[in-house]
Structure 1
Amino acid sequence: VIASGGAGRPEHLAEVLTRGKADAALIASMIHYGTYTISGIKTYLSQQGIPMRLTW
């Protein structure tokens, strides 16, 4: 399941990936407007215990 829409903060992503059990989430607007960086989001999610690749 891929969650789309409504994520405005990294906390929203953590919630949808854990409580919502989504396998992935779209973050286009968070990145597009420069509010967050991909590395910042990934670091936050990793600190929340959500497994992901942190380097390319």
Structure 2
Amino acid sequence: MKFRDFFLPKIVRSDPSIRKKAVLAESNPEVLKGVIKNDSDKEVRDIARKRLQKLNT
């Protein structure tokens, strides 16, 4: 973990495993859409996509 991560929300930290957990807990569709568009890790994007689908049902 990088030092600057302590000052960032979990959904944008450098560690993909932390971002995955944050995505699973996220309920804001706009934040999830941002993760789908911008996250560097494919698995995090896929989890965000599934979470967004679950919220929309």
Higher helix share: 2
The TM tier, using the shorter chain, reads 0.3 to 0.5
Q: TM-score, normalised by structure 1?
A: 0.37
Higher strand share: 1
Q: TM-score, normalised by structure 2?
A: 0.36
